[in-house]
Amino acid sequence: MAKQTPANLSGRGGTIELVELCRIFDDRPAVDGIDLHIPQGELFSVLGPSGCGKTTTLRMIAGFERPNGGRVLIDGVDVTDDPPHRRPVNTVFQSYALFPHLSVADNVGYGLRWRKDVDKAERRAKIGAALELVQLSAFADRRPAQLSGGEQQRVALARALVLQPSVLLLDEPLGALDARLRKSLRQELVGIQREVGITFVFVTHDQEEALELSDRVAVMDHGRVVQCGTPREVYESPQTEFVADFLGVANVLEAACGAPAGGSRRSVTIGSFPLTATEPADLNGNAPEPNSAGKVVIRPERIRLSTPAEAGANQIPGMVDRLVYLGPTTQVVVTLPHGPQIQALVTNDADEQMYPPGTPVTVTFPQDALRLLAPAS
């Protein structure tokens, strides 16, 4: 097949707006009033544990599921009542569902057969461009059974892209692949999305995948979006304990909230030690009251350990309990004077000092990394 330029497939990404979207199954809300705005050309992930409503949300955008309430708008047009084929949307599922008796090229071009506005020559050109985009030009004549799992998933992606939707929905598209292949395909997906410019909405329960792939991430729990932001925002500034825990390892500590300390800073007391933390960015008028019981979170890689002599601000003394070797880093578990244990990550480079179990240490909680959580609503 002649080489085609992927520009043949570049599309105009669509904007998606979900307004108070709800879906109830057997009297239980699977999706419970979601509001989201996904701008044109964004690679947007919906992340959450099994059963939190990710697929149901995606199916309502695609038109496979009818909402019980709320609206779906694409490019400003209300498509809530439109069937799937009337929406400028295509979906890639975890199971690729390729036709086993058709070649790779025919699988990719299958949906174009029904398009009266695409003649045979244009169809061939688009198929060629799609195969080039997913780096499968050399496999055009093979059958799906002659491909690896990752290659089959790339065929499924090409089959969706060839139709040039404004929005591509991807439901755990890498879920059936082994860890190494998932990792390499993630970056390919990002590259393809940048090249075609289509809005991608990607569903996953894998936090690492969502952080690595996305422009923005919506974290879902029990049918609701609990936080939405860039990967850095949701990882470094989790608003709730659920988000902190779901996105990697988090040290969550009980704290007494003190008075505002200027700017976004807040005095807190952990055990009997006064420290300063950063307040949550988006409180919606739900700020922790002074003198209330609250929680603070800090990621293990942001904690600093030093010997007791090295004094400074925002510190608590501790005792090293145990070390867990993790290859590039060592996890140091430290017990604080009032009982709780925290994990710190120390890089295993030659300069880094390692403290054996039983060593008294000073634990520094940098103020920008120590974050007060929003009160549970």
Residue 52 vs 105, nearer CB to ligand ATP = 52
Please identify, using beta-carbon distances, which residue of 220 and 298 lies nearer to ligand ATP: 220
CB nearer to ligand ATP: pick between 70 and 197 = 70
CB-wise, 41 or 63, nearer to ligand ATP?
A: 63
Angle between helices 120-133 and 149-161 (to 10 degrees): 140
Provide, rounded to whole angstroms, the least separation between the CB of residue 232 and ligand ATP: 24
263-279 burial, b for 16+ CB within 10 Å, e for fewer? eeebbbebbebebbbbb
Cα 29 from chain centroid (whole Å): 22
In the DSSP assignment, the letter for residue 289 is P
Q: How far is the CB of 227 from ligand ATP (least distance, A)?
A: 16
Give whole-number Cα distances, 245 to 229, 236, 239, in Å: 16, 12, 11
For ligand ATP, the closer of residues 48 and 294 by Cβ is: 48
Amino acid at 364: T
Q: Kindly tell me which of 53 and 294 has the beta carbon lying closer to ligand ATP.
A: 53
Cβ proximity to ligand ATP, 246 vs 365, nearer residue: 246
The DSSP letter of residue 72 is E
- What are the beta bridge partners of residue 346? 330
CB of 246 to ligand ATP, least distance (A): 12
Least Å distance between CB 53 and ligand ATP? 4
Shortest distance, CB of residue 104 to ligand ATP, whole angstroms? Answer: 28
State the amino acid at position 150 in one-letter form.
Answer: G
* 127: nearest Cα among 292, 251, 8: 8
Please report how close the Cβ of residue 225 comes to ligand ATP at its closest, in angstroms. 12
Q: At what angle are helices 120-133 and 179-196 packed, to 10 degrees?
A: 130
* The two three-digit tokens of residue 211, written as one number: 């952080």
Minimum CB separation of residue 23 from ligand ATP in Å reads 8
Residues that bind ligand ATP in the complex, under the rule CB under 6 A: 25-26, 30, 48, 50-56, 205
Answer whether 72's CB lies under 8 Å from 79's CB.
yes
Residue 345 and residue 330: Cα distance in Å, rounded? 6
Q: Specify whether the CB–CB gap between 370 and 314 falls below 8 A.
A: yes
HSE of 73 in the Cβ direction (CA atoms, 13 Å)?
A: 17
Q: What are phi and psi of 186, to 5 degrees?
A: -55, -50
Q: How far is the CB of 255 from ligand ATP (least distance, A)?
A: 32
Looking at the Cβ atoms of 21 and 161, the one nearer to ligand ATP is 21
Whole-angstrom Cα Rg for the chain: 25
Provide φ and ψ at 241, rounded to 5°: -65, -35
Which one, 66 or 120, has the nearer CB to ligand ATP? 66
Q: How far is the CB of 177 from ligand ATP (least distance, A)?
A: 16
164 contacts: CB under 8 Å, gap ≥ 6: 9, 11, 198
